[in-house]
Each structure stands twice: as C-alpha cells, then as structure tokens.
Amino acid sequence: MPLLDSKLVERAKSVDMLAFLQRVEGFHFKPSGRDFKCLEHNSLIVNCDRHRWFWNSQQLGGTNAVDYCMKIKHLPFREAVFFLTGESEALHKAVYEHPKEKYIPAPKVPSRFVLLEQSYCDDGSRNYGNVIAYLNKTRGIGIDIINALIKSGQLYQGVAYSGMQIVGYDEYNVPYYKFRNNDENFQYYEEKTLKAYKTSPETYTEKCVSGDFVEKMIVPNYQGVMKNQFVVAMGYDEQGKPAFSSYRATIQSLKFRGDVAGSDKHYSFFMQGQSEEGVYVFESFIDAMSHAELTNLKYGKSDAWKMHNRLSLSGTSDVALDAWLKRHPNVSKICFCLDNDDAGRRATNKMVEKYKDIGYEVYVKYPSAKDYNEELINTKQRLAEEIQSEVEAE
C-alpha cells in the first residue's frame, strides 16, 4: 500500500488535542498547573503544548492526536490520519497517488504580521507593570534602560490568550481574535474589517470576536483559554513602521517565547548607540539589554550603555546583521556576543569567517556564563555579596 503523503500526516499530528477531545469525545478540561486535566477522567492529562497527553489509569500516552486514535480508539495508522484530517482513502489516492497527475500544493500564503494587544490597567492607562518587574527583578536589567526602550516604542507589555490568535484591530483599535484550531463555525464569530496594527493603512476581513468578548466570555467559560502577559520587543523599518516583533512570557516558568508570525528579521530589535563604526551582536533582545546593563555597571553610569550599538539576531541566523550592515555602510567593526554553547559557537565561527572575508574588523566576546543575562545575574549577585561582606566587616 502506498505511503501517506507527509503533509497529510503532519496535519493529523498537529491537531489540537484539547479541541479534538472536546469535539469527538465530549470531554471537558480545566487548567492544572501547566497542563490540562480532564473533568470526566481525572487521570487524563493534556500537556500545555496541547499535543502531548497521558492517561495515567490506562498507562498510555503519546505525543499527538494520531497516537491517541491508535492507542485509545484502536484505529490503524492510516485510518487515524484520515479520521483526524477529515479526508478519505479515495480522496488521498485521487490527490496524492494519481499516476498521471502530479500533485502541486497551493502556494504558501505569507503570515500576516499582527502585533500583540497592548495591556491596559483598569483606569485605561497602558500597563507596563509585569514587563518592568520581569526585566528588572527577574532579569536584573536596570530601570533606566527599560524606561528608555519603553519611551522609544521598542518595548511594551502585550496580551495573548492560549488557544486564541489575534487577527487584527478594527477602526476603533479594538483587538479581535479567533480560535487557533480555525473553527470557522464558532457561533459568536462576526465578520469584521480589520488592520494588522493600529497605524496600518491596509485593511482586510476576518471572522472573529472582540478582545472584550474573549476576556468576559471565552476565558471564564472555555477550558484551556488563559490570559498571559508578555514583554514585546519591536523593530521598525526605514519609514518607522512596525516590521518585527519578538515576545517572551513575563512569568519565567512559562516558556512561551518567539517571533510574531510575519515578522521581518531584516528589522530585528536594535538598541541605538552613539558609535558610528561598530555594533555588538546578540542572539536575543534580553541578552542585548543585559550587556547594556553590564556596561552601566562597568562604568558606574546609568547611561553608559548608550555608547554602543546592539543588535539582536533573534536566533543564530545572520539575516538581521546582513540587512543592518547594508543600512549602515560606515560601520567597520563587529563584535559577536552570541551564547556560550555549541549552537552559539558554531554560528559565531561561521559568521566570523564570512564577515572577515568581506573586510570587517571582527571580534568575539563570549559571556562568562551560558548567555549575557546569566552573566549579568551572576555579576549582580557577586556585587551584592561583596557589599554584604563589607557591611558585616564594619
């Protein structure tokens, strides 16, 4: 029997387990720590990634919905894939296995770049409390640096809901959402004309619900939908339009982080300095900010960080660096400050060779710990211990 098309199998494996179990089995779930616990069978747990699951009483588990269909519903692999994707053996043969016609997939549509919703306080003012607490208390970054980046529009506190996807803003800048499982038949959806971010001139239509509806109706009544706060780092193009956005949960135990879909890494997060000839390069915006704080500590000044340019690659690809250098032709020096691990060192070695050959003056400065934020935390802890020792010695 011919193998199933890999794209079809991937579709089946990517099915949202919570939505699947609610729709097919009639199960309901409630948050339990970082996971979701079934109300009808309290030993059935779905992981926070909404794919992995384990049924303790049956001692069965898996990494996706295909495993569930095979182990719990006792379906063969092919039938499980067809069951989850809604396709049939006959359709698969017609589309994927026709001997005379080559299957040509539809062209991939670029993801629309929609910024996370701004968090607001009850009095209507913008909320930065979680971002400041996370960056300052948890990450050790100074208030002066945080405030400067908030003021410049490079940092803000964003809101997102697990299981929901922001799809745009209406003419009054009200955010709108839809379920990530692409359920177009949700009874409360309305068709709205939206824009990707508040200042965008371009509009489009989507079936969706307002952020106010999500807050008041979906979060209290739909299992697995929870509100989370994020620190959001921005990048802008030459016209000052938002072009890149990276996010990270403000609760350290939640490993939610990444780039907003549709982000253009040519305009990754950048901290402008006074230097016109060099740039420091990091893997993440947290590391760039941490290096800035270490510079302040080194010179004993709250604005010493402004001496240098700092660029986040948002990973280990040099797409952001290559584009930034083209926009700054006077720069001749690059200092690579990627993570002190295997991936960081491999990427650094590759980029050092590339940019040396082009003619740049290249330096490498690995952090003394795994990354520059860890070095910052260690440095501040050591300084605090030294001060405490001096106090006790008096």
Please state the rounded mean pLDDT for residues 317-333.
96
Q: What pLDDT shows up at residue 200? A: 87
**Coil, strand or helix: which one is 351?**
helix
Most confident range (mean pLDDT) of 7-11, 138-142, 212-216 is 138-142
Residue 225: what pLDDT?
Answer: 82
Question: At what angle are helices 143-151 and 285-299 packed, to 10 degrees?
Answer: 130
pLDDT of 380 > 70? The answer is yes
Q: What is the mean pLDDT of the chain?
A: 89
229 has a pLDDT exceeding 70: yes
- Provide the 8-state DSSP code for 50: S
Q: Is the pLDDT of residue 222 over 50?
A: yes
Q: What 8-state DSSP symbol labels residue 385?
A: H
Of 53-62, 150-159, 255-264, the least confident? 53-62
Count the residues in the chain: 394
More confident residue, 8 or 379: 379
Query: Using one digit for the tens of pLDDT, what is the confidence trace for 79-111?
Result: 888 888 876 554 445 444 444 445 556 565 667
**Token pair in block for residue 172:** 């009054």
SS3 346: helix
Contacts of 393 (CB under 8 A, 6+ apart): none
The owner of tokens 């965008």 is 200
Q: In whole angstroms, give the CA distance from residue 373 to residue 289.
A: 8
CA distances from 266 to 119, 145, 263, 269, 317 (A): 27, 24, 9, 10, 11
Nearest in space to 375 (alpha carbons), one of 292, 280, 307 = 292
pLDDT top residue among 9 and 169 = 169
Q: How far apart are CA 167 and CA 196, in angstroms?
A: 7
Q: What is the spatial distance between Cα 317 and Cα 313, in angstroms, rounded to a whole number?
A: 7
pLDDT recorded at residue 154:
97
Q: Domain segments of the chain: what residues?
A: 6-96
Look at residue 182 in the predicted model and tell me its pLDDT.
66
Q: Please give the distance of CA 382 from its chain centroid, rounded to a whole number.
A: 32
At residue 211, the pLDDT reads 92
What share of the chain in percent tops pLDDT 70? Answer: 92
How are strands ordered across the β-sheet holding 333-336? Answer: 270-271, 310-312, 278-282, 333-336, 361-364
Residue 389 pLDDT = 76
pLDDT, position 108: 58
Q: Can you say how many angstroms the Cα of residue 358 is from the centroid of all Cα atoms in its chain?
A: 33
- Range name among 20-29, 285-294, 366-375 with the lowest pLDDT average: 20-29
CATH number, span 6-96: 3.90.580.10
pLDDT of 224 higher than 90: no
Q: How confident is the model at residue 163 (pLDDT cuts 50, 70, 90)?
A: confident
What is the reported pTM?
0.71
* Token output for 235: 């990048």
Which residues face 312 on adjacent strands? 282
12-36 pLDDT tens trace: 899 999 888 888 888 888 888 888 8
Separation between Cα atoms, residue 148 and residue 31, nearest integer Å: 37
Q: What is the pLDDT of residue 92?
A: 47
Please state which of the ranges 88-97, 259-268, 298-307 shows the lowest mean pLDDT.
88-97
Q: How far lies 114's CA from each of 152, 168, 263, 268, in Å?
A: 20, 6, 9, 16
pLDDT (average), residues 262-283: 96
pLDDT higher at 327 or 49 = 327
Three-state DSSP state, 150: helix
pLDDT above 80 (res 189): yes
C-alpha distances out from residue 10 to 73, 102, 109, 164, Å? 19, 20, 18, 21
Q: Check residue 237 and give its pLDDT.
A: 95
| Cα(53)–Cα(74) distance, integer angstroms | 16
